[in-house]
Structure formats: C-alpha cells, structure tokens
Chains A and B, each alone.
Chain A
Amino acid sequence: AQSVAQPEDQVNVAEGNPLTVKCTYSVSGNPYLFWYVQYPNRGLQFLLKYITGDNLVKGSYGFEAEFNKSQTSFHLKKPSALVSDSALYFCAVRDYPGGADGLTFGKGTHLIIQP
C-alpha cells in the first residue's frame, strides 16, 4: 500500500527566508511523487512532480523538491519565501507499477509566510 506523511501541520517562515515543507512516503515499487498547492476557494494546483531522472526537480512559482530514495523523502523547498506563497500544500504519491491509479495525498501542511 502507498502512503504519504507530512509531519508538520503548519510551517511559519519570514518573508525572504528559505522554506522547506517536509514529505515522506512509502511504496512497494517506484514512487511517482507530486506537490500540489491549495489556495482558499480555489482548486488544487499542480506544482511539480518526480517520475525519474534528476533528484532535484523544479516547478512552478520558484518551488523545487528533492527526491531522496534512501530517506524516502520528497521535501518541497524555495530559496526565498513570498507572502503570496501562504497556502495549504499537499504531497502525493503513486506507486508504480501495481499501485492504485489514483494519488494518495498527505494531510497537508499550512505554510504561513510572515511579512
């Protein structure tokens, strides 16, 4: 079975500082990993994904994430936070091959960027 853990319910960062939102996963096969962001009254928006290749993947709005197979982690990062980055962030995984076609999401992490 595939699963995702986001150990922090909330992350507080000062504007301009680097940010990290943590995600660990568990799969039987190979992980396909995703980050989505949810703003109030808006649908989930895709940020970035890891399928194969370089462990560091770059996505929308200056975000990046690092795939670490030994630590089974896929932490979301940004070098310099903006107040507009404040939102709810979800990590998701799909186990391939053999896993469910639907994604398994974590519970989400509220990111709060303070001016």
Chain B
Amino acid sequence: DTGVSQDPRHKITKRGQNVTFRCDPISEHNRLYWYRQTLGQGPEFLTYFQNEAQLEKSRLLSDRFSAERPKGSFSTLEIQRTEQGDSAMYLCASSPGQQIMNTEAFFGQGTRLTVV
C-alpha cells in the first residue's frame, strides 16, 4: 500500500495522559499536514511541514500539542495532558508540493482518539 499510513487507528486514553500518533506520508511527498475532525464537522487544519520544517501552525494547536518531522519523512503528533475535548479523529495528509498546481492532499484513514 503506497498511501498515507497512520498509526494507531484507534487510541483510548485517560484524561491527563500523553499520547503520540505517527504518520507515514506517501514516499517523496515533501508536504505533510495534520488535521483534526470532530463529529459532524469538516477537518480543521492544525499544522503543516515542508520537508522537516514546520512552516505553519493553526491557533487550534495549543501548547499541549507538538508535531515533529525530524528527517522529512514520517511525522509524529503528541498531545500532552489530554483533555476530553481532544477526542477527535486526527488526520494526516501529504502532497508533492513542488508545483503550485500539485496542491491536492492525499489523506490517511486517521487516528481516532477517545479521552475518558
């Protein structure tokens, strides 16, 4: 499978615990995005990497959230001291990004986080 891969698919955690999600983008895609989707809503942009550089962060990304893409390949999203409001589907997407025309993003199946 050469699509965007996310792990784990599901995560249940107790409030206050830390969680980390992983995203493996399509090979050679240099742009990587994280989104969050809650029930009944469209995906909301969280952050974006061009290779290993984190170029943009949404105001939705509180101080408890941190994302990395250390070698410009896979990325991790960590949430510290989880709250019930963090319960959502976390989506990762990648795109080639070299040309402005190549702007469509390819999404993974997401990691569903439930904070209890």
Contact = CB atoms under 8 A, between A and B. Distances in A.
Contacts of B110: 43
B45 interface: yes
B105 interface: yes
Interface residues of A, dominant DSSP? strand
Interface stretch (A63-71, A77-85, A99-107): A99-107
Interface residues of A, number: 25
A49 B35 CA distance: 19
Contacts of A96: 100
A24 B44 CA distance: 17
Interface residues of B, number: 29
26 contacts: A4-B42, A36-B107, A41-B109, A42-B109, A43-B91, A43-B108, A43-B109, A43-B110, A44-B43, A44-B91, A44-B93, A44-B107, A45-B107, A46-B106, A90-B42, A90-B43, A100-B56, A101-B56, A102-B35, A102-B46, A102-B58, A104-B45, A105-B43, A107-B40, A107-B41, A107-B42
B45 to A, nearest CB: 3
Interface of A: 4, 32, 34, 36, 41-46, 49, 51, 90, 92, 94, 96, 100-108
A103 B58 contact: no
A49 B104 contact: yes
Contacts of A49: 103-104
A101 B43 contact: no
B4 interface: yes
A34 B104 contact: yes
Count chain A CB atoms within 10 A of each CB in B48, B105, B106, B110 and give the residue with the most: B105
Interface in B1-15: 3-4
